[in-house]
Amino acid sequence: MRKIIVALLAAITLGVGAAAASDLPVRRAPMYSPAPVFSWTGFYVGVNAGYGWASTSISGVSGSSNLNGFLGGGQIGYNWQGASPLVLGIEADFQGTGQSRSDTALGITVDQKLPWFGTVRARAAWAVQRLLAARW
């Protein structure tokens, strides 16, 4: 009888140990995940501010005048980059300005103002990692 009890206790002990081991997580090597590739593809928006200046002279009349002032506005655009480093895009901007001047010659006064302007342009560039090089 004693042998049966010892064998039964050994079987229970081994069974409990096996059951506890089944609860452990399986250790596997981590899966390889390559680093994401940077791409210039996507929409963007932005704001800007600056200062503009121009100097002109009227032929036949002595003197010159300046068209200076602050400007500011925003831009919006889209870039596309395929599998190659070539980046193609389009961008538009709108600027409001405070540029103005007033000229008086021969008793005539001419006022000039540039209240706003906008531009639209295409982009073709060569991407080197996170740098757009050789824009034209």
Res 89: pLDDT: 94
pLDDT at 48: 95
Tell whether 38 is covered by a domain. Answer: yes
The b/e string for 9-34 (b: 16+ C-beta within 10 A; e otherwise) is eeeeeeeeeeeeeeeeeeeeeeeeee
Element (H, E) at 32: none
5 within some domain: no
User: Is residue 38's pLDDT more than 90?
Assistant: no
- CA gap 120, 92 in Å, rounded: 4
Q: What is the average pLDDT score of the chain?
A: 82
Which whole-number Å values give the CA distances from 99 to 21, 70, 102, 105, in the listed order?
80, 7, 11, 20
Is 1 a domain residue? no
Indicate whether 15 belongs to any domain: no
> 35 lies in which domain range?
29-133
78 within domain boundaries: yes
Residue 128 lies in a domain: yes
User: What whole-number percentage of the chain has pLDDT above 70?
Assistant: 83
Tell me how many domains the chain contains: 1
* Per-residue pLDDT band at 134 (split at 50, 70, 90): low
**Residue 129 within any structural domain of the chain:** yes
pLDDT-based confidence at residue 129 (cuts at 50, 70, 90): confident
DSSP conformation letters of 61-74? SS-EEE-BEEEEEE
What are the CA-CA distances from residue 106 to residues 57, 58, 102 (Å)?
A: 14, 12, 14
Please report whether residue 23 resides in a domain: no
Q: What pLDDT score was predicted for residue 58?
A: 63
Split at pLDDT 50, 70, 90, the class of 16 is low
